[in-house]
Amino acid sequence: MNDNHPASDPSMGPGQPAPSPQTVRVAMPRSTPYVTYSIIGITATIFILQLATRALTRTDIPAVFFIKSNELIRAGQVWRLLTPMFLHGSLVHIGFNMYALLSFGVGLERHFGRGRFLLLYLLGAFAGNVASFLFTDANSLGASTAIFGLLGAEGIFLIQNRKLFEGQFRNAIGNIIFIAVINLFLIGSLPGIDNWGHIGGLLGGLMFTSFAGPLYEIEGIYPAYHLVDRRSAQAVMTGAATVVLIFGGLAMWGMIR
């Protein structure tokens, strides 16, 4: 990582050139991503229940109660704006989403912390399902709403902390843009894909992280440099409230229009 704020040298006289920025090593957070693993475990368990109920009753019972259904949301079953993230239609569907969760979630959870990461995941799913509710009448299910929230969060996190990732920033942002474009404009155009859910989840993740994502500074004295997150708990709550109020308001408008 690059620290572009080198300490001044009192032995240097006036007119001496300033030292060039120096590369320093800073330890990144390495905590175990329990929330990511727990979400994968819960989602896999529910998928097994889906398979079991299909085999035994020829009805996907979890989907009956928790899929995104516009008619039932308008009837008052508002939990369906969140619960579809735990349901999946096939082994390929859940496999792809859980792989994406593992790919993005481990690093994000270590930086965001468990509580803030869980909030991000839930808000991405909520925002995505609200967008789907507003713009498509089809039933939908899947964790991709939340996954796109993580994708948006990753982009904002890198932008807000780009000085720490100077050597990797362009490649990392380029990869995120590439993934978003491929999924939104290529895969998202396929029949049966709820692209509005993807767009809503992406916007939810972008919005929350703009207010609430980690804002790092390097502190310490060589060689014990460490990262300090300057984002306050109040800012995190502001970010969460902003997403809930905007998308919650849109959902209410969709119910009464």
Rounded to whole angstroms, the Cα distance separating 43 from 99 reads 12
Question: What is the tens place of the pLDDT at every residue in 100-117?
Answer: 999 999 999 999 999 999
pLDDT at 97 over 90: yes
- Tell me what the mean pLDDT of segment 175-196 comes to: 81
Crossing angle of helices 144-160 and 195-212, rounded to 10°: 40
Q: What is the pLDDT of residue 25?
A: 64
Question: What is the tens place of the pLDDT at every residue in 37-61?
Answer: 999 999 999 999 999 999 999 999 9
> Residue 22: beta bridge partners?
3
Crossing angle of helices 34-57 and 114-135, rounded to 10°: 40
N-terminal to C-terminal alpha carbon distance within the chain? 51
144 is a catalytic site residue? yes
Q: Where do the domains of the chain lie, and which CATH numbers do they carry?
A: 28-256 (1.20.1540.10)
Among the listed residues 93, 144, 210, 226, the single catalytic one is 144
pTM as predicted: 0.85
Q: Is the Cβ–Cβ distance between 155 and 173 less than 8 Å?
A: yes
- Tell me what the mean pLDDT of segment 168-182 comes to: 83
Among the listed residues 198, 210, 226, 232, the single catalytic one is 198
